[in-house]
C-alpha cells in the first residue's frame, strides 16, 4: 500500500510568530496562515472564504522565519500533516488538532525582504550591465567553438 503526506500552501501569516525552545534547545515557531479561496454558491454568486491553517517549523528554519516574517507576510510552505492528540485537563475529553509541519518555506514578500537584505548588505537583483557591455550569454556564445 502506497502512502503520501505532502502539503503545499501559499498564504499570509495571521498572527505574531511565537518562537520557543524545547528543553534540549531545539527552536520551534508556531503560527497560522490564511489561505483564500473563491467559489460559486448554489445561486451562482461568487463567494470568498479564508481557511486558517496552523503551521509549525523547527530548528534554524524556525529562527529565520521569526527573524524575517511577521503578521501579514506572504509565505510558501511545503510540509506534511501531523495530528496532535491530548486529553483535556478540565473535563478529561480527548482533543485533537491537525497542523502542517513545515519542511521547506519561501518568503514571498519581496519588497519587505529587499529592505532587510539591503540592510544586511546583500543584493537581490543583478545589476544591469554597463551600456555596450556583453552579457554572460553573449560571452558564453563567443567561447563556444561551434
Residue 143 inside a domain? The answer is no
pLDDT tens digits for range 81-139:
999 999 998 898 999 999 999 999 999 986 555 555 444 433 333 333 444 444 444 54
Residue 57 included in any domain: yes
In a domain, 102, yes or no: yes
Number of domains in the chain: 1
Rounded to the nearest integer, the mean pLDDT of the chain is: 82
For position 25, which CATH number holds?
A: 2.40.50.140
Question: Within a domain: residue 146?
Answer: no
| Boundaries of domain holding 43 | 7-127
- 2 domain-assigned: no
pTM for the model:
0.69
Beta bridge partners of 32: 54
Measure Cα distances from 62 to 84, 109, 127 in Å: 19, 17, 31
Q: Give domain status of residue 67, yes or no.
A: yes
> pLDDT value at position 121?
39
Amino acid at each position: 500500500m502506497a502512502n503520501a503526506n505532502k502539503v503545499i500552501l501559499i498564504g499570509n501569516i495571521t498572527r505574531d510568530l511565537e518562537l520557543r525552545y524545547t528543553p534540549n534547545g531545539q527552536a520551534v515557531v508556531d503560527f497560522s496562515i490564511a489561505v483564500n479561496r473563491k467559489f460559486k454558491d448554489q445561486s451562482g454568486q461568487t463567494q470568498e472564504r479564508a481557511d486558517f491553517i496552523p503551521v509549525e517549523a523547527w530548528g534554524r528554519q524556525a529562527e529565520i522565519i521569526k527573524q524575517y516574517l511577521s503578521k501579514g507576510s506572504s509565505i510558501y510552505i511545503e510540509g506534511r500533516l501531523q495530528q496532535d492528540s491530548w486529553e483535556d485537563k478540565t473535563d478529561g475529553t480527548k482533543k485533537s488538532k491537525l497542523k502542517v509541519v513545515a519542511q521547506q518555506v519561501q518568503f514571498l514578500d519581496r519588497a519587505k525582504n529587499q529592505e532587510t537584505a539591503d540592510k544586511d548588505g546583500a543584493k537581490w537583483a543583478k545589476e544591469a550591465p554597463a551600456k555596450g557591455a556583453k552579457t554572460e550569454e553573449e560571452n558564453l556564445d563567443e567561447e563556444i567553438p561551434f
